[in-house]
Amino acid sequence: MKRILTLAVSLYSASIFAYGIGYTTHPMPEGQKSISTEMTGITSGDGGMGLQVRYTQKLNKMLSVDAGLGISGGDREQRFFVGADYEIFPDYLRQPRFSLKTNIERADEFGNTFTVISAAPTLSKGFNFWGKEAFPYVALPVGLSLNGDNSTYESVASLNTGINGQLPIEGYTHLNANVELQVGLKDSFTAVLVGLAFPMN
């Protein structure tokens, strides 16, 4: 009975995933850096509110990287993640931007330690909203969640959609905002992320 209970808990707790695609879908000049604060809210399972901070940098024309730390209430305690977004096709005329976002995350959740390795094909396109350009996006993160405490793993998948761009508020247009919805598809969770990014140069 104890083994069955342990297995059930480990399978349920494998429903962790990266917390947001982030700002790498937003076009940034080469070398630009930003720091963002993000609020997370998990609406499925043992959900809860959380906060995280994310650093993003555009290394060159094709590659952006980010890294972050987060904490949450409930059974999802803390996490550290690093990611890289490689642009395959640019946002040009009617063609949307297509990129591949890879991510590695270490998380302490449900009393276990997990390492999640994922890749997210991502489409985004710039549009004019309220006189400012914003960038809706959709991504399909898929990956493996490795439980370091009992040496088990599960495949995970979600559907993420959101929008990021300059705040359309006078006096605050130097700031970028992001709103994202994550829908759990397989051993994942449903969540909302809202963030605000501050350019560093």
**For 126-144, how does the pLDDT look when each residue is reduced to its tens digit (9 = 90+)?**
998 777 789 999 999 999 9
Instruction: Please measure the distance between the N-terminal and C-terminal CA atoms of the chain and give it in whole angstroms.
Output: 58
Task: Determine what percent of the chain is predicted with pLDDT higher than 90.
Answer: 55
Question: Of 116 and 168, which is predicted with more confidence?
Answer: 116
Q: How confident is the model at residue 15 (pLDDT cuts 50, 70, 90)?
A: very low
Whole-number Å distance between alpha carbons of 101 and 105: 13
Sign (positive/negative) of CA torsion 61, 181, 33, 56?
A: negative
Q: How confident is the model at residue 25 (pLDDT cuts 50, 70, 90)?
A: confident
Across the chain, mean pLDDT equals: 84
Sign (positive/negative) of CA torsion 107, 9, 118, 160?
A: negative
Q: Are 50 and 66 in contact (CB under 8 A)?
A: no
pLDDT for 47 equals 64
Print the domain residue range for 88.
2-199
Residue-wise pLDDT for 99-128, tens only, equals 999 999 998 877 788 899 999 999 999 998
Mean pLDDT over 22-26 rounds to 82
Mean pLDDT over 61-68 rounds to 95
Q: Which amino acid is at 138?
A: V
Q: Which CATH number do you get for residue 60?
A: 2.40.128
Q: Are 118 and 127 in contact (CB under 8 A)?
A: no
Q: How confident is the model at residue 81 (pLDDT cuts 50, 70, 90)?
A: very high
Whole-number Å distance between alpha carbons of 61 and 97: 13
pLDDT for 13 equals 34
Q: Which amino acid is at 142?
A: V
How many independent structural domains does the chain possess?
A: 1
| pLDDT for 21 beyond 90 | no
- The angle at the Cα of 54, spanning 11 to 117, to the nearest 5 degrees, equals 35
- The angle at the Cα of 145, spanning 143 to 147, to the nearest 5 degrees, equals 165
Tell me if residue 3 falls in helix, strand or coil.
Answer: helix
